[in-house]
Amino acid sequence: MENNIKKIIIFGASKAGQKMFNILRNFNYKVEFFVDNDENKWDTMVCGKPIKSPKTLKNIDLGRYYIIIGSMFINDISNQLETVGLLYKINFDNMYNYTKMLIEDNINYFISRIKKEKVIYLNNKSVFMALPCGISLGGVETLSSTISNALNEKYDNTYLLNLKPREGDNPEVIGFKFKEKILDFYIDDNNYLNSLIEGCVKLQKYLPITIIPNHSEEVFLIANILKKIYPDFVKVISILHSISDDTYEKNINYSKIISKFICVSDEISNKFIKLLPQRNEDIITKISPVVIEGKRNSYSNEEEPLKIGFGGRLVKEAKRCDLLINLIDDLESREISYEIHIAGNGDYYNIINEFIIEKKLNNKVFLYGQIPNNKMNYFWRQMDVYINTSDFEGTSIAMLEALGNGCVPIVTNVSGVKKFISNGINGFVVEVGDFVGMANNIEFLYFNREKLYKFGMKCIDRVKEACSIEDYINHIYSII
């Protein structure tokens, strides 16, 4: 495919920017260099191209260059570019808009390579839910498994699209009961266009179809292509799991093909309505369902350590697992007996493990790695307290599972929290980053054990009331 576009600069040299580079290369576009706000990357190379300071942009010839934001921090970088006089859509664009434009401008290329099939079974609509991170223990994956299990048990029509297949993948990790309804689909960034075509060919066999992309850019693109080929037989429903900029950007970008937007918290839906007011009637809040198995029997007594649980991806971005280390350090300075049990994998697993060894905390801090979802109910029932150190969330599935099993929450004030936690009534909410406030509340519960049962029972009742799987499935089925 030929092009006469200006020379490209990518703003962002991490994974998203590198992915944008590969996409542009697939379309024979030339990238001149990267810029990045991280000064440690300046004067280094990525994808065979130099990384420069954003200050470079003040002196570029705008008649020759065009900037594409290759980062999830779209709003921040857009504001940064506008402060130096650059104009959105004239001098720069973001990766989601630009990739969609490239695909649509070359739609005949895709249509010519996808053999159109006759759709016969009009009343047997299939549902596909994407797993952007593959079969791994995360909120999106757990929710998708829960919804798919319930839909299959009632209608036998739902599939999981595994976008990051790995050797030894085990659906039990996310609690999925229908192994035969998982389709592996690998995106090859070096052969991006063919990957999209293969995805279209794979999914068109299941028409008519409802696609739930779960924030996956590739699945949005595939849905967009299929929608143009089969306008009457492809429906897209989007679940907004996060309050992040790129979540809103993707959903606005593909809003024309999305029939309904399901937001997992009031905070997400309220903001999204302001961003897309013309679709107000199609934007709803639906709290994620959870399935709680087993019954809470007891809490630790005053002679035992207070048991604190954390479950989720062990990363710094968003989840702020670096604050777990700060929290443990703070607890060590207090005269309380505690244990912290951490379930999950990620970049911070080894960092936390090294900290445990260095501080000789093997008898206080326990790392379990990835625990299968069907064993997480048991995990939470062993804990007195649930902690969440995140900078932002949608409505945390781990939080809902922990509260549903009677854990007393001590969490940061992120999206979805206020719907379930009343400060000092059934748990505690601190400001983002306030690990000292978390430690204060842990100390309070340590010396006031009677609050554990009182708060915990209120949490169980709240989750039962708000997170019914039957209610959720009935609603989903009514709109697919």
Inter-CA distances, 15 with 11, 18, 184, 383, 432, Å: 12, 5, 22, 36, 26
Q: For residues 316 and 391, what is the distance between their CA atoms, to the nearest angstrom? A: 9
Q: What is the pTM of this model?
A: 0.86
Question: In this structure, are 131 and 172 located in the same domain?
Answer: yes
- 7-11 and 31-35 beta bridge pairing: parallel
92 inside domain: yes
Q: Are 396 and 390 in contact (CB under 8 A)?
A: yes
* pLDDT of res. 121: 58
Q: In this structure, what token pair is assigned to residue 211?
A: 């696609």
134 inside domain: yes
295 inside domain: no
* pLDDT of res. 1: 45
Confidence of residue 123 (pLDDT cuts 50, 70, 90): low
* pLDDT of res. 258: 98
49's CB contacts (< 8 A; 6+ apart) are: 21, 31, 32, 33, 34
Confidence of residue 139 (pLDDT cuts 50, 70, 90): confident
Question: In this structure, are 315 and 445 located in the same domain?
Answer: yes
Question: In this structure, are 196 and 334 located in the same domain?
Answer: no
- Of 286, 314, 341, which marks where a domain is finished? 286
pLDDT at 124 over 80: no
CATH number of domain containing 43: 3.40.50.720
Q: For residues 388 and 395, what is the distance between their CA atoms, to the nearest angstrom? A: 12
Inter-CA distances, 371 with 138, 163, 358, Å: 11, 21, 25
Identify the bridge partners of residue 386 per DSSP, sorted by sequence position: 309, 409
Q: For residues 101 and 61, what is the distance between their CA atoms, to the nearest angstrom? A: 24
Question: In this structure, are 351 and 441 located in the same domain?
Answer: yes
475 inside domain: no
Q: What's the mean pLDDT in 80-88?
A: 91
Q: What average pLDDT does the chain have?
A: 92
Question: In this structure, are 373 and 275 located in the same domain?
Answer: no
Inter-CA distances, 468 with 288, 296, 380, 394, Å: 9, 18, 19, 18
Closest alpha carbon to 105 in 34, 19, 17, 28: 28
- Of 97, 129, 157, which marks where a domain is finished? 97
pLDDT digits (tens, 9 = 90+) for 338-375: 999 999 988 999 999 999 999 999 999 999 998 888 89
160 inside domain: yes
Question: In this structure, are 122 and 78 located in the same domain?
Answer: no
* pLDDT of res. 3: 46
Question: In this structure, are 114 and 93 located in the same domain?
Answer: no
Domain that holds residue 380: 306-466
Q: What's the mean pLDDT in 104-117?
A: 88
Question: In this structure, are 270 and 339 located in the same domain?
Answer: no
* pLDDT of res. 120: 64
Confidence of residue 2 (pLDDT cuts 50, 70, 90): very low
Q: For residues 205 and 203, what is the distance between their CA atoms, to the nearest angstrom? A: 5
Question: In this structure, are 186 and 257 located in the same domain?
Answer: yes
pLDDT at 46 over 60: yes
- Of 74, 97, 120, which marks where a domain is finished? 97
123 inside domain: yes
CATH number of domain containing 256: 3.40.50.2000
300 inside domain: no
Q: For residues 458 and 428, what is the distance between their CA atoms, to the nearest angstrom? A: 13
Q: What's the mean pLDDT in 82-88?
A: 91
Question: In this structure, are 165 and 73 located in the same domain?
Answer: no
Question: In this structure, are 53 and 171 located in the same domain?
Answer: no
Question: Strand, coil or helix: what is 258?
Answer: strand
Of the two residues 116 and 88, the one the predictor is more confident about is: 88
186 inside domain: yes
Confidence of residue 5 (pLDDT cuts 50, 70, 90): low
Q: For residues 112 and 281, what is the distance between their CA atoms, to the nearest angstrom? A: 36
Question: In this structure, are 195 and 268 located in the same domain?
Answer: yes
Q: What's the mean pLDDT in 291-296?
A: 88
The tally of domains found in the chain comes to 3
Q: For residues 344 and 376, what is the distance between their CA atoms, to the nearest angstrom? A: 11
Q: What's the mean pLDDT in 159-183?
A: 92
Q: For residues 478 and 385, what is the distance between their CA atoms, to the nearest angstrom? A: 37
